[in-house]
Chain A
Amino acid sequence: MTQAAKPAARPLSPHLQVYRLPLAAWLSITHRITGIGLTIGTLLLTYWVTSAAYGPDAYYDFTAFMGSPIGYFLLFGFSVAMFYHLCNGIRHLFWDVGLNYEIAETKRANVIVLLGTLILTAAAWLLALA
């Protein structure tokens, strides 16, 4: 039995902690994060309709909560997450039917998803507060 040689100091494969993620990868993980956020956000959705089922007093409590700074913050976060998940989800459906796999197309879709989220969020809030 001979002593095993120390392993050579070979370069390691790129690891998540040292690999600079391309924009598409950030958008991909954001899709999951917004999905988790929206799942938690369904509590708010259920609270809305259920409070109305409990009657006018409970519904008033709900609208008072949504009118508070915390309520606005939650609703704003919910709206951004929803528009992002909607836009990026549509891009995923394009991928599912085999479209937009070229790098140039992916980069273009990155911009469309981000701009779409921005425009839809701004439009919804402007119309709601108008």
Chain B
Amino acid sequence: MFASHNLRTPLGRARGLGSAKEGLHHWWVQRLTSLALIPLTVWFVASVVGLAGSGYQEFAVWLSNPCNAAIMVLFFGVSLHHAQSGMQVVLEDYVSHHGWRIASIIVVKFICYGLAALGIVSTLIVTFGG
């Protein structure tokens, strides 16, 4: 019975953990990264279309432009941050076994941030003429 004027459940009261004050954080990060990805994706498509059929030399010259390099770094960081947060929601919804759910989310997040690091470091190597 909810005896007091309290919206918390008895279980919530017994656990005593309270609010973590970040209930909106995941939702907000997904929206913020989606918004950023609109111009980044337009830039990415325009770049790939412009580079179509070109070889290593043209690509290296293109990526040594500071603006292209900076946006490519952002594209890797933001798109993979967005990807891991979206994949987390998908896995939370469809993987019913608790252990597998946690494990799959951890693995996907590690892979996403690994790819982001690899992409960013590779961009910088090409930019600085590696």
> Residues of A with Cβ closer than 8 Å to B?
32, 35-36, 38-39, 42-43, 45-46, 49-50, 52-53, 55-56, 59-60, 63, 82, 86, 89-90, 92-93, 96, 120, 124, 127-129
A86 to chain B, nearest CB (A): 5
Q: Report the bound CA distance from A90 to B34 in whole Å.
A: 8
Whether A128 lies near B59 (C-beta < 8 A) is: no
A-B contact count (CB 8 A): 81
Bound complex: CA of A45 vs CA of B37, how far in Å? 15
Q: Give the contacts of B55-99 with A (CB-CB under 8 A).
A: 55-57, 59-60, 63, 72, 76, 79-80, 83-84, 86-87, 90
Assembled-state Cα–Cα distance A124/B122 (Å): 26
B31 proximity list for chain A (CB < 8 A): 93, 96
How would you classify the secondary structure of chain A's contact residues: helix, strand, loop or mixed?
helix
Count of residues in B whose CB is under 8 Å from the partner chain: 36
7 shortest A-B CB distances, which residue pairs? Answer: A53-B122, A53-B125, A128-B52, A50-B122, A56-B56, A59-B56, A39-B83
Mark B residues whose CB is within 8 Å of A: 31, 34-35, 37-38, 41, 45, 48-49, 52, 55-57, 59-60, 63, 72, 76, 79-80, 83-84, 86-87, 90, 108, 112, 115, 118-119, 121-123, 125-126, 130
Nearest opposing residue in chain A for B114, CB measure: A46
Q: Find out whether the CB atom of B118 lies under 8 angstroms from the CB atom of A50.
A: yes
Chain A residue nearest in CB terms to B45: A124
